[in-house]
Structure 1
Amino acid sequence: MLNYPAAYQTTKGSALDVDKAFYRRIAAEQDARELIESIVIPIRSGQAWTVPAGHVFRIVTIEGPQVADLNMWNLHNPRERMWASRTRQLQAAHVSTFDRLWSTLPFLRPMVTITDDSLADYGIDEHGGRVHDLLGTRCDPYVNRMLTGEDFHFHCHSNLTRAVAPYGLTEYDVHDVLNVFQCTGLNLDDKYFMKACPAKKGDYLEFFAEIDLLCALSTCPGGDLSLPMWGPDARDPLEVCRPLGVEIYRLAPDLLEGWTTPSVAAYKGQHGLTLGGQG
């Protein structure tokens, strides 16, 4: 089968042309950063935190494999939030180093750039699985009730809802996620599948904040996804649930030389409309 070209092409100097040397330097110069906050998120829970523009944050498997669901908003305007579907188109369905997570319309700008990924070499496995996906979305109690007839209040949607409540947000603000450390793909029937998380203790995914951020992360109640949660063999995966860590770093000023936070989209939003009708 031929590798058909991507719909959105990267050309030199375009918005998709990332300055890899800049982000590579941030990842490499570990002595030019200061840890300013460290968070542990317990199993089957969620937590939110803020990251100033120009800082780095890292999600870490502190005890072993565990998948997580990540949401992000503009700290000052939560209407600007991560846009998973457009990021799939502009970057990839599974993201890694130098990929960016983009914000919703009418803002459309990179919110973060991935600077480091300890699972970058995982590649594509024998089933077509890859890690860090934007294909699926968060598990939620509504689907659970629909499929099982039972209520369970610690799905990723619920965890994220509780996490952002102190910031004045609700479940209406929770949105499609980046599935961190999760191994997924599409099977031969074009259906979404999930595999056991390949991460080991100490693995991480690291992001550079392009704008001031509010972030929220859920430690998925499915744990490392090594046990079936649906169907006749379903079982409670509590035994494979583990906490995750979040580390936030301040970078040395010289590392940021030449960088500026990206502007919102240049389009003015007229959409062909004029006051008083056409003409």
Structure 2
Amino acid sequence: MRPSPITAPPADAEARKAVRPVVCYPTDTLPRPDLAAYRALRDGLRRVGTVVVPPRDAATWTVPAGHFFRIASVEGPQVGDLNLFNAGDLKERLYTGKTRALNGTHVGLGDQLFSSFPYLRPIATITHDTLDWYGFDAFGGSVHDVIGTRCDPYTHNLLSDGGQYHHCCHSNLTRALAAATGLPPAEAEAHVHDVLNVFMCTGFSRDTGQYFMKASPVRPGDYLEFFAEVDLLGCLSACPGGDCSSEHSSDTARCHPLLVEIYEPAGRPEGWAPPAVNGYDRSHGL
């Protein structure tokens, strides 16, 4: 807990607090996907691949640009930590901070996931979400957040007085990426990044501003569906916290597998083309 304030508030403190907020990134000029064009292809999808992500472990898959993929709950409530990369260039990867700034703390139907600098372009579009009914609850919680960093063995070590745990999502993603790319684990780890917490129900407490989690509302059969804007390498960890109702980074929570399905459409969305790399000239004023 933060200590009580030691600075006396100024006479106009309430007026200062009452200043209305301004959205940091107005998105009126941001190109938006034609969601109807994407969804028009959904009835004709042909499944071309499946990957099972074991509990407390991770797995990888590739998706060609113009294909769809789904992350599905199959046996019980389970959250997943998702990393996405350009399949041909690991340096281009999901940038959750900018995705959050442009969409909000949680993502859903019609939102796009943006890649890291200097590329900064949409790499995936969410085309279906069977949890879109949840919205925001009375605690300020919602699903599919881009605010959490992923459970990791370093924070676990810090908070557990030296504990060693190897099935945190960070370690799971590291092992899976190393296996998929042939990189040594230390090099693979450097590419693992902040995640999209699929199915996880999270928010910030109103009194302390702390990041919280609560039981995921996901049910078997629920899924989150994406359209690959570029060739993608996906890496997903089935979190050792299970539905994250009580804890993570442990072997005590009940965990379940997750299923990834890759689908090929009969065509491409009308007018669609893979997005170009960001147009900034990278001169930085020099």
Q: 1:37 to 1:124 in 2, by over 3 A?
A: same
Q: Percent identity?
A: 50
Relative to structure 1, the CA distance from residue 123 to residue 222 in structure 2 (aligned partners, 3 Å threshold; closer, same or farther) is same
Does residue 22 (structure 1) correspond to residue 34 (structure 2)? The answer is: no
Q: Is the 8 A contact 2:45 2:263 kept in 1?
A: yes
Structure 2 counterpart of 1:153, from 161, 166, 185: 166
**Corresponding residue of 1:276:** none
Structure 2 equivalent of residue 222 of structure 1? 241
Q: Is residue 266 of structure 2 the alignment partner of residue 242 of structure 1?
A: no
Aligned-pair CA distance for 1:25? 2.0
Distance 2:205 2:55 in 1: 29
Local SS of the residue matching 2:78: coil
Aligned to 1:269: 282
Contact 1:48 1:217 in 2 (8 A): yes
Q: Distance in 1 between matches of 2:252 and 2:201?
A: 17
Asked whether the 8 Å contact 1:223–1:237 carries over to 2, the reply is: no
- Give per-residue Cα distances to partners, 1:169-189, cap 9 Å, x unaligned: 410000000000000000021
Q: Give the total of aligned pairs.
A: 262
Are the counterparts in 2 of residues 101 and 111 from structure 1 also a CA contact under 8 Å? yes
Q: What RMSD, in angstroms, separates the aligned Cα atoms of the two structures?
A: 1.7
Does structure 1 residue 184 correspond to structure 2 residue 202? Answer: yes
- Conservation of the 8 A alpha-carbon contact between 1:227 and 1:237: no
Q: CA deviation at 1:21?
A: 1.8
**Normalised TM-score (structure 2):** 0.87
TM-score normalised over the length of structure 1: 0.89
Indicate whether 1:57 and 2:78 are aligned: no
SS at match of 1:237: coil
Q: Residue 212 of structure 2 is aligned with which of 150, 169, 193?
A: 193
State how far apart, in whole Å, the 2-side matches of 1:2 and 1:222 are: 40
Residue 128 (structure 2) pairs with residue 116 (structure 1) = yes
Give the superposition deviation at 1:64: 1.6
CA distance in 1, matches of 2:69, 2:20: 34
Distance 1:88 1:38 in 2: 29
For 1:5-16, list aligned pairs within 5 A.
5-11=22-28, 14-16=29-31
Deviations 1:148-195 (A, max 9, x none): 121110000000001111314410000000000000000021110000
**Is the counterpart of residue 172 in structure 1 residue 190 in structure 2?**
yes
2:122 is equivalent to residue 107 of structure 1: no
**Deviation per CA, 1:102-139, whole angstroms, max 9, x where unpaired?**
00111010010000000001011121100000111110
Structure 1 alignment gaps of length 5 or more: 274-279
